[in-house]
Amino acid sequence: MEILLQQIINGLVLGSMYALVALGYTMVYGIINLINFAHGEVLMVGALTSWAIIVQMQEAMPGVPGWIILLVAMIISCVVAAALNFVIEKVAYRPLRNSPKLAPLITAIGMSILLQTLAMIIFKPNYKPYPTLLPAAPIQFGGAVITPTQIMILGLTAVSLAVLMYLVNYTKLGRAMRATAENPRVAALMGVRPDMVISATFIIGAVLATIAGIMYASNYGTVQHTMGFLPGLKAFTAAVFGGIGNLAGAVVGGILLGLIESIGSGYIGVLTGGVLGSHYSDIFAFIVLIIMLTLRPSGLLGERVADRA
């Protein structure tokens, strides 16, 4: 029972990270029908930037409490990542908006490789320890353990989601975003500027990805230039799982995926008598996805549209 509770906590932590990244994928997809393959790399850039800032600040100002450093690092790296994503969209995706569908896919893949390589050149390829800034003592409850970092992750996810939901549902920008996702041409006729909405979407996506990246780094304790790949892939899977283009779907998909993965890898050894180990954890996401899409091709909460992609 303790294992289950522990795996649920780990799953929620993992899942909330996937959810934040998945939101970035799903918003972009909902509006311009593009799989932004560079999104995982934005997460990586955010995490690496925050690492650099934290290391610098710890050296320059030894007395400052950890949470202030973390907050400052988070704000600065969010700005950096947002600027980066803004530029990526402008340079690599916008000129191709009316091109054959596969062209922006290739530039997105190119962007992803480019960012990884640049990060490797700038930050060197080694794994870097990510400093623990919050108290490390874990909190016991019901036989399971939760660390302050994990509590922070869950709290940050809740806050980010609340802010995003407010933004999308109650602000002018949110209405413009929903209108553009529905139909860009009609939205433009109604006075919405699709280009601006798309830029805003990329900026919001970058902020969410950076927050997720910092969570990921704090949770696992290391950063490296390839760290964006797997979470990016899983988060995209989560977005499709939930029904791509659907914000609530991305959150539900992300959290479910995190739970499935962590419970799955916690029990696979027991269930198969030790034959299969937890290193199979990476395939749960895909197996569930394939089963899911075969049964319900539009995803969990996706609209049943005959001709969507």
154 in contact with other proteins (CB under 8 A): no
DSSP per-residue codes, 73-105? HHHHHHHHHHHHHHHHIIIIIGGGTTS-THHHH
Selected range binding other proteins among 55-63, 65-73, 247-255, 292-300, rule: CB under 8 A: 292-300
Burial class (CB in 10 A: 0-12, 13-18, 19+), 105: middle
User: What residues from 172 to 201 belong to the interface with other proteins (CB under 8 A)?
Assistant: 183-185
**In the bound complex, what is the minimum distance in angstroms from residue 154's beta carbon to other proteins?**
27
Q: Which positions from 66 to 95 touch other proteins by CB under 8 A, shown as an x/- string?
A: -------------------------xx--x
Residue 6 near residue 145 (C-beta atoms within 8 A): yes
**In the bound complex, what is the minimum distance in angstroms from residue 164's beta carbon to other proteins?**
23
Amino acid type, 267: Y
Selected range binding other proteins among 14-22, 28-36, 157-165, 198-206, rule: CB under 8 A: 28-36
Query: Alpha-carbon distance 175 to 177, whole Å?
Result: 5
- What's the N-to-C CA distance of the chain in angstroms? 43
286 in contact with other proteins (CB under 8 A): yes
Q: Chain-centre distance of CA 118, in angstroms? A: 21
Selected range binding other proteins among 50-58, 215-223, 236-244, 250-258, rule: CB under 8 A: 236-244
- Quote the DSSP letter at residue 296: -
Task: Name the site residues for other proteins (rule: CB under 8 A).
Answer: 29, 32-35, 91-92, 95-107, 109-114, 116-118, 120-121, 124, 183-185, 233, 236-237, 240, 244, 275-277, 279-280, 282-283, 285-287, 289-290, 293-294, 297, 299, 307-309
